[in-house]
Amino acid sequence: MPSVGAAGILGVALEAVSGTYLAPTTFIPFDSESMKWTQENVERRPIRNSPALLGMIKGPGHVEGDITFDCTPDLLIYFLYAARMSVVKTGSGPYNYVCTPTAVAVPTKTMSVTIKRGSEVSGYAGCVVSKLNLKIEDGAFKATVSLLGVSEATQTNPTPTWPTSTVFGAGFYTWEIPTGTPVTDTDKWEFEVDDSAEAQNRITNSIAAQFIAFKENKCSSKVERDFETRAEFDQFKNVTSKSLTMTASTGANNSVAILTPVSFINSYEYNLGGQGDLLRASVEYAHAVNAAGNNYTITLNTTTNIT
């Protein structure tokens, strides 16, 4: 029987043993997903008096895809544990999680992702966050996580329990350029951490990937601001860095703050598009490390207790 997206279910669980599937314990209301099993089969085309395909040779595979959802700290924290980050938890409820980048090649924590589509349930094991994109547009705070995983298999149908946490909307944000100076001229904000992960397949008795490896890190932000003076444009030309902070908060137990301590303007555009167009600046920042080796710090406050 055909089915629609509305009937979908997506749940996650942090794995006890990397790559070993765990049934979901946390369920995520999501906007869209593109998780898929990718298998690089090899065409068999030996010379044998025929120009056609003779067969296929089974190739190695891995899992990849994106999940987009409303960014709230109680759900985001699961993905940050499965990213190339050090997560330090303090407090006794609400909990404070401070997430900073690391240089590890192999993730310290992996997660299982379970997705019900129609009547079929796929379990993706050994998943890690290759890229994290956080975006505020039209008041909504959205997270897109790009995952890579090692294997896929059918799983039993989960019965979800849904979170009742408050999502962020207009009026919950503070955007500081530089950190400590709130600005009110920005309507689009986007932050991205890309650890360029790659599935690693080896010669084994399985077609699944052996592990996921991280490579070079890129961290950047993009904003759209009203253009009033060329002060920031001159900072671009002079390669002057500054600290930036975006905070989304509904209170002490529900907040997400992204600090980029050394932010260089990588691109600055302000143009006249037409008679009725407001003069805006499109600014892109590249985030470099500070003395502590952090090009970003993501701080979450939530009642969610991950042990």
Binding site for another protein (CB under 8 A): 9, 11, 13, 23-27, 93, 156-164, 303-307
Q: What is the DSSP letter of 207?
A: S
As to burial, measured by CB atoms within 10 angstroms (0-12 exposed, 13-18 middle, 19+ buried), residue 161 is exposed
Smallest separation (angstroms) from another protein to the CB of 3: 13
Q: Of 25 and 271, which CB lies nearer to another protein in the complex structure?
A: 25
Bridge partners (DSSP) listed for residue 286: 220, 264
Structural contact between residues 116 and 45, judged by C-beta atoms closer than 8 angstroms: no
**Measured torsion, CA atoms of residues 87, 88, 89, 91, in degrees rounded to the nearest 10:** -150
Q: Of the two residues 174 and 305, which places its CB atom closer to another protein in the complex?
A: 305
**Tokens 């997270």 belong to which residue?**
143
Read off the DSSP letter of residue 182.
B
Would you say 196 or 303 has its CB closer to another protein?
Answer: 303
Which residue's CB is nearer to another protein, number 154 or number 275? 154
**Least distance between another protein and beta carbon 169 (Å):** 20
Return the structure tokens found at 74. Answer: 């109680």
Q: How far is the CB of 164 from another protein (least distance, A)?
A: 5
Give whichever of 160 and 178 is closer to another protein, judged by the CB atom: 160
Give the DSSP letter string of 81-132: HTSSEEEEEESSSSEEEEEEE---SS-S--EEEEEEETTEEEEEEEEEEEEE
The residue count of the chain comes to: 307
Question: In this complex, which beta carbon is closest to another protein, that of residue 13 or of residue 83?
Answer: 13
- Which of 117, 115, 125 shows the shortest CA–CA distance to 148? 125
Specify the residue, 241 or 254, whose C-beta has the smaller distance to another protein.
254
Cβ closest to another protein, residue 50 vs residue 119? 119
Q: CA nearest 132: which of 64, 170, 84? A: 84
Least gap, CB of 303 to another protein (angstroms): 5
Per DSSP, the three-state class of 80 is helix
Minimum distance from residue 157 beta carbon to another protein (Å): 6
The continuous run of DSSP H or E covering 305 comes out as none
Q: How far is the CB of 301 from another protein (least distance, A)?
A: 13
Tokens at residue 58, please? 């089974």
Q: How far is the CB of 124 from another protein (least distance, A)?
A: 17
Question: CB of residue 26 vs another protein: minimum separation in angstroms?
Answer: 7
Distance of CA 224 to the CA centre of its chain: 21
